[in-house]
Structure 1
Amino acid sequence: MLLATSCALAMISVPTTAWSADQPKTTATAAGKAKPAPKATPTPTPKPVPVDCAKVKCIALTFDDGPGKYADKLLDTFKKYKSKATFFLEGQYVKSRPAFAKRMVTEGHDIGNHSYSHPHLRELSEDKIREELTKTQDIVKKSTGKYPTTIRPPYGELDGRVSAIAAEMGMPIVLWNGGSRDWATKNEKAIYDEVLKNAKREGIILMHDWVEQTVTVMPKLLTALQKQGYHMVAVSSLRGAKDTKAGDVYPVGSEKDEDLPSESPTGDPDDFAQSPSDGL
């Protein structure tokens, strides 16, 4: 859905009077001839240790409708706090911001399929549902080298046809069990309070990377969650997600939550979505 060198090495890396940029790059031999100075052996960077959510308290922050125009700043924050997220991408925005989508994959975040143009899937024919999903699969693979591995239907709306097509495509459906209402309030304090109110172990929080206030409050929010003992991980790292099969819904039973729609924009996509070309 994650290291620091020793103090001694850090000190050596800083130029000093004795070790400056003007220091000769050769050393003298006994015969008075110069030979190249030995090259420093690079210190290998240790790989991050995976978070074991069976042993620690984990929560998954998820972002819909991206990559948004603030996604690079959001990724900077997650990198600084050594945290992971899950991004449910719209094909139209991956097309206009492929570098952001590629960075999400490169930096170890999960990516999911959020359709191409954010329609109400239940209002579409089966062929149109497939087209929305497969078009996004293809453009994400072209942009990042990796296919999305999960589906989050727009507005959290699904029916038997959507589930069957997800199973056909070999992908679980990921919803959420807590929100931020960032799209509605666009207020940093309100977003912060709402997320902390809904935070729980193994929770999946819905947010949006096109909401500027969400991105701005993220350092404060990650700090607060870490102080409460949370590890921010990608959905795939949560204990229950590992056993979810293609076409199944995770978290289990979330599709029956009557409050689910209130956490996601429910009107015309043009009311909240960005123009695919904005911010470029």
Structure 2
Amino acid sequence: MHRRLVISVAVSALCGAMLAGTAAPASAAAPAAVDCRKVKCVALTFDDGPVADTQRLLRTLNDRNVKATFYVVGKNVQRYPSTVRSTASAGHQIGNHSWDHADLTRLSAAQIKSQFSRADTAIKQATGKKPTTVRAPYGAHNAAVRQAAARPLVHWSVDTLDWKYRDSARIINTVKTQTKPGDIVLLHDIHKTTVNAVPGIIQALKARGFHFVTVDQLFAPAKLPAGKVTYHNRAAYRP
């Protein structure tokens, strides 16, 4: 009787929420606990999306239980909010990559602030959370950009040049040969050749004993300072 009562109460509560036009929020798939001070970690980061092909990338990452960080462009978030929502729900980290990928160093202080705030708004509307890190388009930054970011600027330590060389095999080889423990790898999910390369990247790095983590996980338990740029690998930030 007690078991039937518990089930009945749970079903009633769910039905009540549905009738009220609400539903219990789906909990995000939290990244597995990994201490990157003790094991080999790498953070794969994907810039400039989301685009239609981002969903294929998400399936690839999910099938292989890999977490990554996505530095998204606000206007693309506005176009594909459900994709960003799915990305966050799967346990990936979302970062701010400006509103429309402008070279922020060529803008006024007010314009830079608008680039970040408009992207923040779009991301928060899609995911319910404001990003904790930003990445400046092209890696271009100055004092005004760092001040407007008001958060850590996370750049990269391995540049695949996937935007220049649309060659999946080349991308895989670059990541395989250049990645060291604590590295942040720059990729772009807007290119199909990059998404095609991801299974090979994962296979190559897993064979070398790497754990795939988000940017926040990579530096934990240390907290990156706001307004500072992170280029180098995890070893430089050990607490």
Shorter-chain TM-score bucket reads 0.7 to 0.9
Structure 2 regions of 5+ residues with no counterpart?
8-28, 234-239
1:172 pairs with one of 152, 162, 171: 152
Identity %: 37
Distance 1:164 1:48, change over 3 A: closer
Q: CA deviation at 1:49?
A: 3.7
Corresponding letter in the other structure for 1:189: A
Is it true that 1:196 corresponds to 2:180 in the alignment? Answer: no
TM-score scaled by structure 2? 0.82
Q: CA deviation at 1:252?
A: 5.1
Does 203-212 or 192-201 show the bigger shift? 192-201
Distance 1:162 1:101 in 2: 24
Does 233-242 or 93-102 show the bigger shift? 233-242
Q: CA deviation at 1:152?
A: 0.3
SS in 2 for 1:243: coil
Q: Is the 8 A contact 1:89 1:111 kept in 2?
A: yes
Distance 1:47 1:117 in 2: 29
Corresponding letter in the other structure for 2:137: P
Distance 1:164 1:241, change over 3 A: farther
Distance 1:252 1:231, change over 3 A: closer
What is the match of residue 78 of structure 1? 61
Corresponding letter in the other structure for 1:142: Q
Distance 1:186 1:158, change over 3 A: same
Equivalent residues in 2 for 1:1-16, closer than 5 Å: none
SS in 2 for 1:183: coil
Is it true that 1:243 corresponds to 2:226 in the alignment? Answer: no
Is it true that 1:153 corresponds to 2:136 in the alignment? Answer: yes
Is it true that 1:52 corresponds to 2:32 in the alignment? Answer: no
Residue-by-residue CA offset, 1:151-175 (whole Å, 9 max, x unaligned): 10000000011111122xxx11001
Is it true that 1:163 corresponds to 2:156 in the alignment? Answer: no
Distance 2:142 2:195 in 1: 32
Distance 1:105 1:193, change over 3 A: same
Computed over aligned residues only, the root mean square deviation of the Cα atoms, in angstroms, reads: 2.0
What is the match of residue 206 of structure 1? 186
Does 48-57 or 75-84 show the bigger shift? 48-57
Distance 2:138 2:32 in 1: 35
1:130 pairs with one of 110, 113, 120: 113
Distance 1:96 1:166 in 2: 23
Residue-by-residue CA offset, 1:88-134 (whole Å, 9 max, x unaligned): 01001001111110011101111111001111101000000001110
Hey, which of these two has a bigger chunk of helix by percent?
A: 2
Does 199-208 or 49-58 show the bigger shift? 49-58
1:66 pairs with one of 49, 55, 62: 49
What is the match of residue 141 of structure 1? 124
TM superposition outliers: structure 1 runs of 4+ over 4 Å: none
Q: CA deviation at 1:87?
A: 0.3
Corresponding letter in the other structure for 2:69: T
